Amino acid sequence: MSGLTFLGSSTELEDSYSYDEDSYSIFTQGLINGLIGAAADKNNDSLLMAEEWFNFAYDYTVSNIGKQHPVFWGNDVLIANISTVPIPGTFWLVGSGIVGLRLIVKRKRSFSASC
SS (H, E, C) the chain: CCCCEEEECCCCCCCCCCCCCCCCCHHHHHHHHHHHHHCCCCCCCCEEEHHHHHHHHHHHHHHHCCCCCCEEEECCCEEEECCCCCHHHHHHHHHHHHHHHHHHHHHHHHHHHHC
Looking at the structure, tell me whether residues 27 and 61 fall in a common domain.
yes
Looking at the structure, tell me whether residues 64 and 89 fall in a common domain.
no
Looking at the structure, tell me whether residues 53 and 103 fall in a common domain.
no
Question: Is this structure's pTM higher than 0.75?
Answer: no
Q: pLDDT tens-digit profile of 78-104?
A: 888 876 655 555 555 666 666 666 666
Looking at the structure, tell me whether residues 64 and 21 fall in a common domain.
yes
Q: pLDDT tens-digit profile of 1-60?
A: 567 889 999 999 998 888 877 778 899 999 999 988 788 988 888 888 999 999 999 999
Give the number of domains in the chain. 2
Is pLDDT at 115 greater than 60 in this prediction?
no
